[in-house]
Amino acid sequence: MLSRNDCLELDARDPLAARREMFDLPAGVIYLDGNSLGALPRNVRPRLEAAVQNEWGRDLIKSWNTADWINLPSRVGDRIARLIGAGAGEVIAADSTSVNLFKLAAGALKARPGRKVIVTEPGNFPTDLYILQGLRALLGDVELRVVERADLAGALDENVALLLLTHVHYKTGAIHNMAALTAAAHAVGALALWDLSHSAGALAVDLNGCGADLAVGCGYKYLNGGPGAPAFLFIAKHLQADFQTPLTGWMGHAAPFAFGDDYTPAPGVLRGLCGTPAVLGLSALEASLEAFDGVDMDQVRAKSMALGDLFLDLVLEHCEGFGLGCSRDAAARGSQVALTHESGYAIMQALIARGVIGDFRAPDVLRFGFTPLYVRYVDVWDAADILSDIMARGEWRQARYHEVSAVT
């Protein structure tokens, strides 16, 4: 078992150690919730100030040209592309993950006429399921085949238009085999849509290497774009020319400023745009992505696995009563670990009161995310130590830790 000093030594040798300085982290806090909301990169504040004061305030409407607001979605998209194995011109940043899921799932049904089935799994991040249910309610003629992950490959047949999966599970962190499942979808003529919300920025994703067709993902988790940051979507190059999303807003038009009455899709991935880009949110996200400049995602992944293992080793050694809500094999999980405990909610509140921030997911999961750009080995050691102390003292039994907030 590693000692605290061992952890300090690991930090001293960590090739990513300097990245932590790029974040503005609150004192006295060990933040293990970057999988829910990434921490604040230092350059966001000056970038937003410039966007507000100079671009909006001073240059006003001219900034569409002078600050190139109009190309923010593709500029930010190209930055994200590098992190997820996509090419330039395959990704845009826009709207929310949920809205982008709707665009792409509906487009996939159009791209596979005659096929009415979408395959996905239960217990997926709910918005993925809800959006498919909304699409089914709208179209009527759609079958959702919701099957456990072990049965996914068997659920694919020639009636399937789309396989929609979240690459890294939001609760368990379990990673799907993107290459194998995409190939299985293709083998029956279906498309594969990957939700990268818990993958992008956390581990090396290789969309094109896996032959993925479509993807969406979140801007405010491991990409650190800020609360409710714009999301992204990916349409593989070879699908773009014929791809039709139903959300045909003016920014996805081939000539938005011609103000013609008839919709003609923009070339390439730009047809995935809908309304006017959220300039402030995109500016914050663009700045936040600079924290990944020059970063080797393999180093990120290696450190992430080491941090997760370290936490599990320490907690399972020193604390009793926890179940394991994730794989013990780091290679099989994303950048997060999950413990289960029937009093998980109160334990998490007690941890937060001691400055260790993770989150709770019903019914009994304590979730801890390890963001290699700003979490140190010693943070993980200290967090495990505090948890162990809370359990030893029974501190979480205090009534105040059982009060439920609006957002848990």
Binding residues for pyridoxal 5'-phosphate: 97-98, 125-128, 166, 195, 198, 220, 250, 276
Rg (CA), the chain: 22
250 near a second copy (CB under 8 A): yes
Stretch 290-349 residues interacting with a second copy (CB under 8 A) = none
In the complex, least distance from residue 50 CB atom to a second copy, rounded to whole angstroms: 11
AA identity, residue 69:
W
Q: Which of 195, 309, 359, 379 is catalytic?
A: 195
Give the DSSP letter of residue 26.
Answer: P
Which residue among 357, 373, 380, 387 contacts a second copy (CB under 8 A)? 357
- For the annotated binding site, the residues are 97-98, 125-128, 166, 195, 198, 220, 250, 276
Q: Please, what is the minimum distance in Å from the beta carbon of residue 351 to a second copy?
A: 12
Query: Quick check: 85 and 232 in contact, CB under 8 A?
Result: no
Active-site annotation holds for 220: yes
Number of Cβ atoms within 10 Å of the Cβ of 157: 13
Does 61 engage in binding with a second copy (CB under 8 A)? yes
Does residue 147 belong to the site contacting a second copy (CB under 8 A)? no
**Residues 122, 300 contacting (CB under 8 angstroms):** no
- Least distance to a second copy from the beta carbon of 367, Å? 11
Residues 6 or more apart whose Cβ sits within 8 Å of residue 127: 97, 98, 101
134 lies in the site for a second copy, by CB under 8 A? yes
DSSP state of 176: P
Q: Per the structure block, which two tokens stand in for 176?
A: 């799907």
**Interaction between residue 284 and a second copy (CB under 8 A):** yes
The active-site residue out of 19, 20, 354, 367 is 367
Tell me, what amino acid is at 238? Answer: H
In the numeric block, which tokens belong to residue 170?
């939001």
Query: Of 83, 236, 274, 319, which one interacts with a second copy (CB under 8 A)?
Result: 274
Residue 340, both tokens: 């289960």
Of the listed pieces 3-11, 111-119, 335-343, 358-366, which binds a second copy according to CB under 8 A?
A: 358-366
Q: How far is CA 105 from its chain centroid?
A: 18
Q: Is 254 in the site for a second copy (CB under 8 A)?
A: no
58 is catalytic: no
123 or 211, CB closer to a second copy?
Answer: 123
Listed residue (335, 322, 401, 104) closest to 201, CA to CA: 335
* Burial tier of 92 (Cβ tally within 10 Å: 0-12, 13-18, 19+): buried
Rounded to an integer, what distance in angstroms lies between the CA atom of residue 93 and that of residue 268? 14
18 scored as a contact of a second copy (CB under 8 A): no
Does the protein bind a second copy through residue 268 (CB under 8 A)? Answer: no
Check 221, 271, 301, 303 and give the catalytic one.
221
Q: Between residue 376 and residue 405, which ones bind a second copy under the rule CB under 8 A?
A: 405
Distance of CA 73 to the CA centre of its chain: 17
- Which residues does residue 163 pair with via DSSP β-bridges, in sequence order? 119, 192
Residue 49 touches a second copy, criterion: CB under 8 A: yes
Q: Among 78, 95, 286, 309, which residue interacts with a second copy (rule: CB under 8 A)?
A: 95
Residue pair 287/48 in contact (Cβ under 8 Å)? The answer is yes
State in angstroms the smallest separation of the CB of 185 from a second copy: 22
Smallest gap from residue 9 Cβ to a second copy (A): 28
Closest approach of Cβ 211 to a second copy, in Å?
Answer: 26
β partners of residue 143: 117
Examine the residue annotation and report whether 367 is marked as an active-site residue of this protein: yes
Annotation says 309 is catalytic: no
Which residues, in sequence order, are CB contacts of 347 under 8 Å at separation 6+? 341, 366, 387, 390, 391, 396, 401
Q: DSSP character for 60?
A: G
Compute the least distance from the CB of residue 142 to a second copy, in Å.
11
Contact pick of 15, 154, 209, 228 for a second copy (by CB under 8 A) = 228
Number of residues interacting with a second copy: please give it, by CB under 8 A. Answer: 99
Which of the residues 189 through 218 are near a second copy (CB under 8 A)? Answer: none
The bridge status of strand 232-235 relative to strand 214-217 is antiparallel
283: amino acid identity, one letter: S
Binding residue (CB under 8 A) for a second copy from 253, 301, 303, 367: 253
Query: 31, 220, 322, 401: which one is catalytic?
Result: 220
Cα(386)–Cα(270) distance, integer angstroms? 48
Which residues have a catalytic role annotated?
A: 125, 195, 220-221, 367
